[in-house]
Amino acid sequence: MASPESTINGPTKADSKSLRNAFGGVIAFIILVLIGVLAFSIRLFSVIKYESVIHEFDPYFNYRVTQFLSKNGIYDFWNWFDDRTWYPLGRVIGGTVYPGLTLTAGTIWKVVNSLNIPLSVETVCVFTAPIFSAFASWAAYLLTKEVKGPGAGLTAAALLAMVPSYISRSVAGSYDNEAVAIFALVFTFYLYIKTLNTGSLFYATLNALAYFYMVCSWGGYTFIINLIPMHVLLCIVTGRYSSRLYIAYAPLVVLGTLLAALVPVVGFNAVLTSEHFASFLVFIIIHVVALAYYIKGILSPKMFKVAVTLVVSVGLAVCCAVIAILIAVVASSPTKGWSGRSLTLLDPTYASKYIPIIASVSEHQPPTWPSYFMDINVLAFLVPAGIIACFMPLSDSSSFVILYIVTSVYFSGVMVRLMLVLAPAACILSGIALSEAFNVLTRSIKFQLPGIAGNSTVASEESGSSSVVAPSDVSKTEKTEEVAKEKPVKKNRKKEKENVEKKPTPSKTERRLLVLPLEASVIAVLLLVLLGAFYVVHCVWAAAEAYSAPSIVLTSQSNDGGLHVFDDFREAYSWLSHNTDVDDKVASWWDYGYQTTAMANRTVLVDNNTWNNTHIATVGTAMSSPEKQAWEIFHSLDVKYVLVVFGGLVGYPSDDINKFLWMVRIGGGEFPHIKEPDYLRDGQYRIDAQATPTMLNCLMYKLSYFRFVETDGKGFDRVRRTEIGKKHFKLTHFEEVFTTHHWMVRIYKLKPPRNRIRGKTKKSKSSRSVSSKRDVKGKRNPWH
């Protein structure tokens, strides 16, 4: 790609080569800088189109933690017991949070401020993700360069800089763990490959440190600590054991595990849970293999055979015993030592069966096919070509890349959010594919263009023979379309790879066979460029339109083309912070917990850190109970205000009524008197006149639709596209205190207990209520 051949005229061969390398280095550097700028700037659409604001839910928590860190220092952060969430349980933030992102942003803030650049913490947080996506691109360059040379590296870096999947998690303002974790992931892999290629203990140590940073940053570090052992095992099984492999792996396990155990949130999990088990198993295996190789080296073949039989028979017995014990230990724990999220990955149906709280999160759902096209676009077609390229020839490093793509494709198929892990792999392989394709095609062109061919000594030798092979290739290229075209190209490249790496002389003769006809090459190059152009257009569109919305501010196009802004969330949160007491407790579904604590600074019962299922189930139960029971539950938890999100007026689809069935499911999981079928009419979830009485009497329905009929006189819900079932009702235990401009957030206050207890209801009254009940409802309401 970055080959500057055409500019070279004249000097001796050695001179021209070193000059060419130097020149290539400079160009590569400039390109890398430009890629960094591209990665950073393509993520600024959100700031330009909206404002410099933290996005979504989790980033608000991270922002709040960073604020705390910058104010109180690292030790207080480590020991932070937060009494404003999970009331009344509280949460030990320091011990339950991955501190990498926070520490990174806190450090940046500190450094910047010590340089007398007065940036606010929020600004630093907003721009952390774009900065790190530039780093991630460079890390992808380094990794791919180790695998297939600098050309592939630059292509991969350029692709990663703008891959939509990664953009979706790292636009400015998306201040989440993944923002730095993807960089850490790719960089750790790079250092592993580098160690594998060099056998240097220095890189092995760096690798352990990079792994430590990854552990600090994201729970996804288990991917690394399982993928690398898998690769080591693969190398051993395919007979590729070497001391380089040992150096790459053993220090990583020892140092990495020690370092990982230092992170409070991981702690002893680093040696206790099954996620880490594979690494230790492979650690043992690699030592056994190393020992075997060593013994093989010092014994005569005959003696070695004897030793092998001896060791195998004894070792087998010992292994059986150890494995039996291990299985017994692991089987004694109910989840087999795996965390719920990991189990969901191994068995995609696990969460929906047992853990509704994991299944309820949209980003834990399996992705749809269109989302692959949306998120990685043309890369999906280039990846197979890249895989084939990696097989020609198969080296330690390229086998690692193949393993990486295969596993990440599987994981992305289980959970949407793991698309993020797939994205770098897809970029790396596509980079390899593209670069190899260009390599072959441009060389074909070069050899056949008379002017250039004459100048180049190498080319002149080969130009004659090229015609021999050409016809067969031509037929192939013409027959197949652009995607398939890569395949023949790849086949050729196998040999070509070898001479890039070490031995240029023997392959010279073979290289003649690789040349394609000029016209086909030119067309193929053009098509590939066109493909890249489509990719760029798509990425820019995705960055600008699809992934830049901060989700706390919504916009819609009005009919006359104007922009309408819905800023209800911030309106509601600032109402809370200005009109309620500092210690008041606000109950809402957990989605809004982080935002409430960060923006309104009020105590919440549950938040997006879903660590206590029972507590969430309590809130779910309250939301699905009738008013009185709900009031009792909330009152017992000292709740003062209840916040619901309602999209029925403006058609905002992810509101609480749409999430309500999850509340019922999660609540019913802990409190069996909440039964999902009570809320469904013939298995259908509906809120119109056909809805069940339980549904129409539950708190969530009432709080969402209270006074709704006053807006248009009919109570037409624009999300469910139907008229609501129960239009006129009063609240007895709650009072509406605030409803935002577009009714998207509604805040209710719990009424205090009645000052007096009334006497018996009069006979006349009770008889009236009985008759009315009989009239209105055909089916008996289980709550009465």
Partner 1 sequence: MAKLAIFFALTLSFLPFLSHSFSPDTPTDRRILVLLDDFSLKSSHSIFFTSLKSRGFDLDFKLADDPKLALQRYGQYLYDGLVLFAPSVERFGGALDVAAVLDFVDSGHDLIVAADTTASDLIKSVATECGVDFDEEPSAMVIDHQNYAVSDVDGDHTLIAADELINSDVILGKTKIEAPVLFKGIAHSLNAANTLALKVLSASPSTYSAHPTAKLSSPPSLTGSAISLVSVVQARNNARIMISGSLDLFSNRYMKSSVQKAGSHSKYEKSGNEQFVIELSKWLFHERGHLKAGNLRHVKVGETNEPAMYRIKDDLEFYVDIYEWSGNSWEPYVADDVQVQFYMMSPYVLKTLSTDKKGLYHTSFKVPDVYGVFQFKVEYQKLGYTSLSLSKQIPVRPFRHNEYERFITTAFPYYGASFTTMAGFFIFSVVYLYNK
Q: Footprint of partner 1 on this chain (CB under 8 A)? A: 75, 78-79, 81, 83, 87-90, 92, 94, 264, 583, 636-637, 752-760, 762-763
Which two tokens mark 68? 């705390």
Please state, in angstroms and rounded to a whole number, the distance separating the CA atoms of residues 732 and 751: 8
Signed CA dihedral, 205, 206, 211, 212: sign only: positive
CA distance 305 to 680: 70
**Residues 416-447 as b or e (16 or more Cβ within 10 Å = b):** bbbbbbbbbbbbbbbbbbbbbbbbbbbbbbbb
| Nearer CB in complex with partner 1: 758/779 | 758
Residue closer to partner 1 (CB basis): 92 or 295: 92
- Of the pair 117, 757, the CB lying nearest partner 1 is at 757
Q: Name the residue nearer to partner 1 (CB basis): 536 or 637.
A: 637
Nearest residue (CB) to partner 1, 564 versus 765 = 765
For residue 641, give Cα distances in angstroms to 56, 112, 320, 385, 652: 22, 40, 60, 57, 23
Whole-angstrom distance, CA of residue 209 vs CA of residue 199: 17
CA–CA separation, 656 and 619 (whole Å): 13
Q: Which is nearer to partner 1, 110 or 765 (CB)?
A: 765
What is the smallest separation between the CB atom of 754 and partner 1, expressed in angstroms? 7
Question: What minimum distance in Å lies between the beta carbon of 670 and partner 1?
Answer: 15
Q: Give the nearer residue to partner 1 in terms of CB position, either 479 or 754.
A: 754
Closest contact distance (angstroms) between CB of 735 and partner 1 is 15
Beta carbon of residue 69, minimum distance to partner 1 (angstroms, whole number): 15
Q: Cα–Cα distance between 80 and 217 in angstroms, integer?
A: 18
When the beta carbons of 94 and 164 are compared against partner 1, the nearer one is 94
Q: What whole-number distance in Å separates Cα of residue 765 and Cα of residue 463?
A: 104
Shorter beta-carbon distance to partner 1: residue 81 or 410: 81
Q: How far apart are CA 247 and CA 251, in angstroms?
A: 6
Longest dimension (CA), the chain: 113
Residue with tokens 């591209």: 38
* H/E segment holding residue 739: strand 734-739
Burial class (CB in 10 A: 0-12, 13-18, 19+), 729: middle
CB of 687 to partner 1, least distance (A): 33
**Nearest to 696, CA basis, from 724, 654, 737, 675:** 724
Distance of CA 420 to the CA centre of its chain: 4
What is the nearest approach in angstroms of partner 1 to the Cβ of residue 190? 30
Nearer to partner 1, 92 or 553 (CB): 92
The rounded Cα 608 to chain-centroid distance in angstroms is: 16
Which positions ≥6 away from 593 have C-beta within 8 Å? 85, 604, 605, 606, 607, 608, 609
The one-letter amino acid at 62: N
The minimum distance between CB 614 and partner 1, in angstroms, equals 11
Name the residue nearer to partner 1 (CB basis): 258 or 310: 258
Which residue, 425 or 605, has its beta carbon nearer to partner 1?
Answer: 605
Bridge partner list, 532: none
Q: How near is the Cβ of 298 to partner 1 at its closest, in Å?
A: 15
Q: Which residues of 486-499 are buried (b: 16+ CB within 10 A; e: fewer)?
A: bebbbbbbbbbbbe
Question: Least CB distance from residue 689 to partner 1, whole Å?
Answer: 35
Instruction: Note whether 129 and 175 are within 8 A (CB).
Output: yes
Q: Minimum Å distance from CB 337 to partner 1?
A: 23
Tell the smallest beta-carbon distance from residue 764 to partner 1 (Å). Answer: 10
Cα 650 from Cα 551, distance rounded (Å): 15
Q: Is the CA virtual torsion 126, 131, 133, 139 positive or negative?
A: negative
**For every residue of 87-155, which 3-state class applies, written as one string?**
CCCCEEHHHHCCCHHHHHHHHHHHHHHHCCCCCCHHHHHHHHHHHHHHHHHHHHHHHHHHHHCHHHHHH
In whole angstroms, how close is the CB of 292 to partner 1 at the nearest point? 21
Structure tokens at 698: 């539950």
Q: How far is the CB of 86 from partner 1 (least distance, A)?
A: 8
CA dihedral for 344, 346, 348, 349, sign (positive or negative): negative
Q: Which is nearer to partner 1, 349 or 614 (CB)?
A: 614
Cβ closer to partner 1: 83 or 710?
83
Query: Which residue's CB is nearer to partner 1, number 433 or number 605?
Result: 605
> Which contiguous run of DSSP H or E holds residue 218?
none
Q: How far is the CB of 343 from partner 1 (least distance, A)?
A: 28
Q: Tell me whether residue 80 or residue 447 sits nearer to partner 1 (CB atom).
A: 80
CB of residue 79 vs partner 1: minimum separation in angstroms? 4
The residue among 15 and 583 lying less far from partner 1, judged by its C-beta, is 583
Please name the amino acid found at residue 744: M
Question: Do 529 and 155 form a contact (C-beta atoms < 8 A)?
Answer: no
Least Å from the CB of residue 638 to partner 1: 8
Please say whether the dihedral angle defined by the alpha carbons of residues 352, 355, 357 and 361, taken in this order, is positive or negative. Answer: negative
- Please state, in angstroms and rounded to a whole number, the distance separating the CA atoms of residues 774 and 262: 65
**Token couple for 15:** 């001179």
Give me the amino acid identity at 415: M
Q: What is the DSSP letter of 374?
A: H
Minimum Å gap between C-beta 692 and partner 1 is 30
Smallest distance from partner 1 to CB 751, Å: 12
The residue among 557 and 755 lying less far from partner 1, judged by its C-beta, is 755
Residue tagged 């709740």 (tokens): 639
